[in-house]
Structures are given as C-alpha cells and as structure tokens.
Amino acid sequence: MYRLESQNMRIGFDAQARLVMLAIAEGNIISTAPETSFRMIFKRGENWENTVVSAGQEFTVTAEKNALLFHTDTLIHSGGTVDIGLTLTARLDGDTVRFSAEIDNREPDAWVTDFEYPYIGVVRTLSEGPRGKGPDLLFPIQSGMRVQDIGQFLSGHKSRKVGLSNFGSGPCREITNCSFGTTYPGYASMQWMALEGDGRSLFLQSHDADHHVTDLRVLGAPGDDGDVTLVMDKLAFVRSGEVWQAPDAVLSLYEGTWHRGADIYSQWAKTWRPTHEKPEWVKNMNGYYLVIMKQQFGVEMWPYNTIPKLYELAKDTGCDTVGLFGWYDSGHDNQYPDLKVSESLGGARALTDGIREVQQAGGSVTLYYQGHLIDTTTDFYKNGGDRYVCRSKDGIPYLEWYNKAHNSSYLKYYTNKSFATSCPSCPEWQELMKEKADWVQSFGPDGILYDQIGGMPPRPCFDERHPHPKGKPSLSMPGGRKLLMDGIQRRTKELDSQFGFFSEHITDVYSAYLDGVHGISSYPSGEGDWGSGTESIHNYPELFRYCFPETIITIRNPRPYIEKRAVNYACVYGFRFEMEIRYDADCEDVLTRRYERENTYAKKAGDLRRRHWELLGLGRFVDSLPLKQDNVAVLAKAFESADKLAVVMWNDTELPQKVNLEVPGWSLEAVDSPEGPREGPPRTMEPQQLIVQLFGRDKA
C-alpha cells in the first residue's frame, strides 16, 4: 500500500491507484477497494466505446512531499495497447485530498471522450467502528436533494424507486442500474456531492472553472445493502496530439456537517463567478405571477388591456411582478425566434399602455423570450437559422418537443411541436439574443425572461463550423452559454440599469449572469417526510441556498393559486413566491377567486416577509448553523443581516410539535406570524403553522 498521512488524515492506495484507505482516526471507512481507480473511454475508428480501467495497467509510482503520482506511458485495454499517457496524482493537505490527472493523447485517430477520476468508495458507513445506519446522500439536482441511507436505497430491492431494474443480485450492466446521477451544468446545479452520517461528512467536489459537461454519479451494488461509490465523469474530448489537464477533484472527510465542504466550494466559486448589481425591483420582488396570454394552439386568454387586471390579481396573492408569457402573435411555444406583437390581443400600443399602468400602480412586468429553442417550421430555421443549432455526433440537430394541449386528445397525442436546440457558442445567436433584448425593452417592461438558457442539460455540439471554446463539444453549451448570458446581462444594463434579466433552472454557473431565476423543482417534498427516516428522496434546498444565498429564485408552482405548504416552504428557504395562469380553465379560477383561502394566506405571509424584509428578503440565508433545535419535525432556518437574525420555523406535519429553540449569542426581540405579532416564543406549533422569531446579537 502507498500511504500519505497528515495530522488530520490517513489515505492509502494500491498499485492500481485505487483508494483503499481513508481515515481521520483509527480504522478505515473504505470497506472494499472500488472496481477501478479511473475509467477512460475513447473513440477509434467506428468504435466509440473503447474502455480503459486501472486493472492491468503498469504504473510507475513516485512519492513527493504530501503527494503520490501514478504514471504510465501507454494504456492497456481489451483491444491491446493504446499510445495514451496517463498520470494520476493524489495530494494530501490536512484533511483534504486533491486529485489531479494528465492525459497525453499520442494515439492517431483516438479521441478521449470520457474520463472518470477518482473513484471514492466503496463506502458503507462513515464511522470507523461498528456499522450503524448508512450515510445520507446530499446531491445538487436543482436547489438540492437528500436521499436517506443511499446505499440501502440503491441496493437491488430499493431500485424500483428510481426506475432501475430489480432482477435479483447479479451484476449491474446498464449504465443507469443501481446508480443515481445527473449531468452538470443542468440539471445538477453544482459540481459537488456529499455523504453525511455518524456525525461526519465525506465531501467530493470538482474545481472545474471551464465547466466541462460532467456526469455526477453515485454507484450502489445489486443485492448489497449499503455499498456506495462516488464518481464524476468529465466529458474531456481529448484529441490526438493534445495534452489535457483534468480539473482537480477535492475530497474532504471530517467531523461535522456538510456546510464545511460547501464553504470550500463556494469560496472556490468566487474565483470565477462574476458579480453584478441587480435591479432594485428584483431584489425587492416578493412574488412572480406568471401568465400565458395566448396558448400554443391559438386560445387567446388575456388581451393586452387585461394586464392591469392581472396585476390586481397578483397583488391579492402576495405577488408584485407579472411575468407575461405567450404575449406574442404565435402563442406560447410557437415560432421561436420569429416573434411579433399580437394584433388580435390588442397591438403594440395596448401592450405598452398595459405595462405602464402596472408600473404606475407600483408593480413590475417581465416579457418572455425563448433563448434555447428554434421552431423547425419557422422562416428563420428554413433560411439559414439551421446553421446555429446544436448537432449530435451524427450531425443531426438535437430536438425537443413541447405540447401545451389542454382539452383536445388529438392535439395531446399527435401534435407535439418540434424544436431544434440552439448552439450558444455561435456569435450570430449571441448577437440575435442581444437584439431581441432591444426589441422587448422597446415595449417598456421592467425585464426580460429568456427561457431555458439558465440550465437545460448541456448537450455537446459536434458542428465544427461553430467556435466552441477550446474546440471541445463538451464546452459548446457551458462555455457558449456563459458568453451568451454575459452578453445579454451587459446589454440589458446598457439599456437601463434597472432592466432585469431572468431565466429558468438553477445552476451556480449560469445564475451568476442572471438577476432572477425562474426556479425548477423548487417545491416541498411530501408532508412530514423529512422526519420519517425512510429511504427516500427529499427536496433539500439548503444545498444551493447556503452556497449561493445571493441568488434570487422563485418556487416552481404550475397552479393558479399558492397552496399553504408552498408558501411556508418559500418563506423558510427564502424563495420568492410564484403562481402560474397557464390554461383557459385557470382564467376562470382566478377571476372567480376560487382559491380565495389559499391566496389570502399567501398575501398574509407576503406581508409578514415585507415587515421584516431586511432579513427575510435581503438577509443572508445561513441555514440552521446558528441554531440549536432538537425536533427534526420542525424546520427552522436562519437569515442574518449585520446584528440582526430572523429564524423562520415551520411545522410541516399533521400533528402539533414541541419547540425547543436556542440561538447562542443572540437575544429574542420579537415574534411574528402571518396572523400578526405574537407574545413570546412558541412552546408548541400547530400543523402547518409558520412563525418568525427575531433576534439581536448579544453585545460582548
């Protein structure tokens, strides 16, 4: 065994560079060696899946100060040898291990597409003594997820829950079997994942400032309750003649919660994440009232002269911003990017007047534009726009289909609209999107929402006519989107410093260019499920909110009302409200005030936030770190601003719950709720009750 030791950690590797020991005390959390230390996939000829693993490689091992280097000049695989050099490095610093790698591709006609390194596992428990409960997985899909006892969850008898096969205890062969994963950037919001249990955290993060397409994957084992291996697959696309330095992977094992690893990640993100001043109205937005004015198949629901009425309806739900979708003549999800003002909805003058009336009443309006999709039936696509689409390895455009039928079975089953996806690396597309900001701003709105560019999955583009960053398909979308969104952000502020830029999806890289995020998967899990102890998936928005609290995100709520749990969820985590008026039946619901009870509660909760906006709207989300609270059934999250602290508490169960909250270093000053101020702190909370406690910092 090759070993490295510090005062805080001991690690060991075998001759294949597999991690076989990881400890911060006596013992070892690695139960068995992972199947490999790395995996490389390369294309040669017509074979796209030549696979190389560590077994059979003849590494030369060099020890440097606090580091081990495993090097081979050539690699061995099932088809023989390949002239690709590989150096794997592990460097120990305190209780952190930094893994790096270099690929030297000298093999003619070889194209390295995938590179997985390191493999962290096999882990069954984070304790170094007798095995207790398996660790929970913290995973960054959108704002975050938590999977309790992930090893148990991924074992064969649990696999049905994530759509996996359940045919006994034999080997898993499909790439998705007994695994849990997604791509970054989008749907994964960050490049890290962690295991937490037994008072410890195992935190794996990638420090990839180029943002290569990455598959974050957690591997289980069929028929084995508990095996867990963490791995990240970088789509490297290393061409023949290229030497590629893999982005560093950073591994931490320590006593304590996941927050410490998240602090390392968010501090690193500051080295590449741009900042800008958000418009004041966006910073002060409490809720987003999304309205589709005309639907995909021609149903006109809201003429332009109803825009002021929509704002009145929005105010009744605690929302202060109206987001107009489908405001163009072709209707929602149609004819992108060939949009024009709808004469049948009232014409340009009525649109401008309606927006101005909302602004005069104190509200804000955004107009929708599509930044990702190109309708394949448009003149734009047919007359040269197809040059700007993202193409697969076979030269075929990547397509997406969207159907907004509401009543017709014919439309539902047989009329999916087909869209090609744009390649954001194309300068022509970048310029067109900036021009569309000019056009939209001419109608006087407060901002523009470019749909989907904030985090749709990053398909590699193989059209070599496009200037992809570093010539890599895997950087075509991440790198191209950064250029696209930086250009839009700059253009919107050139037009007006208060002109907002929104998009959909949650990611660390793209949200840095946005003023506001139209959230995805930002909604509560099942009532009370977090305290249930079952092996199941829970939305866990603490992850993104803690790492990037400055990001303004709406909940995703496709209903014409805001249910009480969604309101409470938004208040606890600092999301902005959202409700959506999408279909014809929704119009009747809101006009007849069918959901008056729900919307009245949302308005009261919005007023509660307004009363303490410096903390609940503008304060920094610090999760539960300052708190001592022993009842997991009561969610309690803190927001901090200077010498003030607000703790938002929510009983998301069907039963009354006892409350025992302590905030060391802070003194209680007031207690408030949607129903109004309260006398003193609560000792119990009723089901679905929301309470805010306000504290001042103790003076030394």
The CATH number covering residue 625 comes to: 2.60.40.1180
Task: State yes or no: pLDDT of 160 exceeds 60.
Answer: no
**Domain end point (choices 572, 588, 613):** 613
CA dihedral (477, 482, 483, 489) in degrees, to 10, reads 140
The confidence band for 168, taking pLDDT boundaries of 50, 70 and 90, is very low
Task: Give the three-state DSSP class for 611.
Answer: helix
The neighbouring-strand residues paired with 503 are 450, 517
The confidence band for 537, taking pLDDT boundaries of 50, 70 and 90, is confident
Per-residue pLDDT of 425-437, as tens digits, reads 999 999 999 999 9
Instruction: Name the strand (E) or helix (H) holding 691.
Output: strand 690-697
Same structural domain, 560 and 606 = yes
376 occurs within a structural domain: no
Same structural domain, 140 and 11 = yes
Question: Averaged over 160-164, what is the pLDDT?
Answer: 38
- Name, in order, each residue with C-beta under 8 angstroms of 35's C-beta and a sequence gap of 6 or more: 53, 119
Q: Which position has the token pair 């030394």?
A: 700
Same structural domain, 243 and 301 = no
Question: Averaged over 484-493, what is the pLDDT?
Answer: 99
The DSSP call for residue 199 is T
Same structural domain, 478 and 440 = yes
Question: Averaged over 269-275, what is the pLDDT?
Answer: 98
Task: State yes or no: pLDDT of 158 exceeds 80.
Answer: no
Phi and psi, residue 356, nearest 5°: -65, -35
609 occurs within a structural domain: yes
Same structural domain, 567 and 641 = no
Same structural domain, 624 and 609 = no
Range of the domain at 504: 285-370+427-613
User: For residues 441 and 443, what is the distance between their CA atoms, to the nearest angstrom?
Assistant: 5
Per-residue pLDDT of 207-251, as tens digits, reads 999 999 999 999 988 767 789 999 999 999 999 999 999 999 999
**Domain end point (choices 553, 580, 613):** 613
Q: What's the pLDDT at 163?
A: 39
User: For residues 665 and 622, what is the distance between their CA atoms, to the nearest angstrom?
Assistant: 15
Q: What's the pLDDT at 530?
A: 56
Q: What's the pLDDT at 114?
A: 98
Q: Mean pLDDT across the chain, nearest whole number?
A: 94
Same structural domain, 260 and 294 = no
- Residues of the chain with pLDDT > 70, as a percent, come to 95
The confidence band for 166, taking pLDDT boundaries of 50, 70 and 90, is very low
CB 86 within 8 A of CB 75: yes
CA dihedral (444, 450, 454, 458) in degrees, to 10, reads -160
The DSSP call for residue 352 is H
Per-residue pLDDT of 49-73, as tens digits, reads 999 999 999 999 999 999 999 999 9
Task: Give the three-state DSSP class for 361.
Answer: coil
The confidence band for 130, taking pLDDT boundaries of 50, 70 and 90, is low
Q: What's the pLDDT at 171?
A: 57
User: For residues 123 and 135, what is the distance between their CA atoms, to the nearest angstrom?
Assistant: 9
Question: Burial, 129: exposed, middle or buried (Cβ in 10 Å; 0-12, 13-18, 19+)?
Answer: exposed
Q: What's the pLDDT at 164?
A: 38
537 occurs within a structural domain: yes
The confidence band for 153, taking pLDDT boundaries of 50, 70 and 90, is confident
The confidence band for 469, taking pLDDT boundaries of 50, 70 and 90, is very high
**CATH code where residue 557 lies:** 3.20.20.80
User: For residues 390 and 410, what is the distance between their CA atoms, to the nearest angstrom?
Assistant: 30
What phi-psi label fits residue 18: left (phi over 0), alpha (psi between -120 and 50 degrees) or beta? beta
Same structural domain, 438 and 323 = yes
274 occurs within a structural domain: no
User: For residues 506 and 508, what is the distance between their CA atoms, to the nearest angstrom?
Assistant: 7
Question: Averaged over 443-447, what is the pLDDT?
Answer: 99
User: For residues 408 and 122, what is the distance between their CA atoms, to the nearest angstrom?
Assistant: 51
CA dihedral (581, 584, 585, 589) in degrees, to 10, reads 50
CA dihedral (91, 93, 94, 98) in degrees, to 10, reads -60
Higher per-residue confidence, 27 vs 671: 671
Number of domain units in the chain? 3
The single-letter code of the amino acid at 670 is A
The confidence band for 14, taking pLDDT boundaries of 50, 70 and 90, is very high
- Name, in order, each residue with C-beta under 8 angstroms of 306's C-beta and a sequence gap of 6 or more: 354
Question: Averaged over 127-143, what is the pLDDT?
Answer: 85
38 occurs within a structural domain: yes
Q: What's the pLDDT at 522?
A: 76
Per-residue pLDDT of 294-312, as tens digits, reads 999 999 999 999 999 999 9
Q: What's the pLDDT at 167?
A: 42
Phi and psi, residue 157, nearest 5°: -80, -5
Q: Angle CA(500)–CA(456)–CA(572) in degrees, nearest 5? A: 65
Per-residue pLDDT of 338-366, as tens digits, reads 999 999 999 999 999 999 999 999 999 99
Same structural domain, 525 and 506 = yes
Q: What's the pLDDT at 156?
A: 56
Per-residue pLDDT of 398-432, as tens digits, reads 999 999 988 899 999 999 999 999 999 999 999 99
User: For residues 694 and 46, what is the distance between their CA atoms, to the nearest angstrom?
Assistant: 65
412 occurs within a structural domain: no
Same structural domain, 596 and 664 = no
Same structural domain, 630 and 508 = no
189 occurs within a structural domain: yes
Same structural domain, 484 and 540 = yes
Task: State yes or no: pLDDT of 274 exceeds 60.
Answer: yes
Question: Averaged over 277-286, what is the pLDDT?
Answer: 98
Q: What's the pLDDT at 535?
A: 53
Q: What's the pLDDT at 205?
A: 99
Question: Averaged over 311-329, what is the pLDDT?
Answer: 98
Q: What's the pLDDT at 637?
A: 98
Q: What's the pLDDT at 215?
A: 97
What phi-psi label fits residue 109: left (phi over 0), alpha (psi between -120 and 50 degrees) or beta? left
Residue 560, CB-side half-sphere exposure with 13 Å CA sphere: 20
Higher per-residue confidence, 488 vs 226: 488
**Domain end point (choices 269, 297, 323):** 269
Higher per-residue confidence, 223 vs 45: 45
Task: State yes or no: pLDDT of 476 exceeds 50.
Answer: yes
β-pair type (516-518, 500-504)? parallel
Q: Which position has the token pair 């602004």?
A: 359
Q: What's the pLDDT at 217?
A: 95
117 occurs within a structural domain: yes
CB 331 within 8 A of CB 295: yes
The confidence band for 457, taking pLDDT boundaries of 50, 70 and 90, is very high
The confidence band for 161, taking pLDDT boundaries of 50, 70 and 90, is very low
The confidence band for 534, taking pLDDT boundaries of 50, 70 and 90, is low
User: For residues 2 and 20, what is the distance between their CA atoms, to the nearest angstrom?
Assistant: 9
**CATH code where residue 186 lies:** 2.70.98.10
Task: Give the three-state DSSP class for 426.
Answer: coil
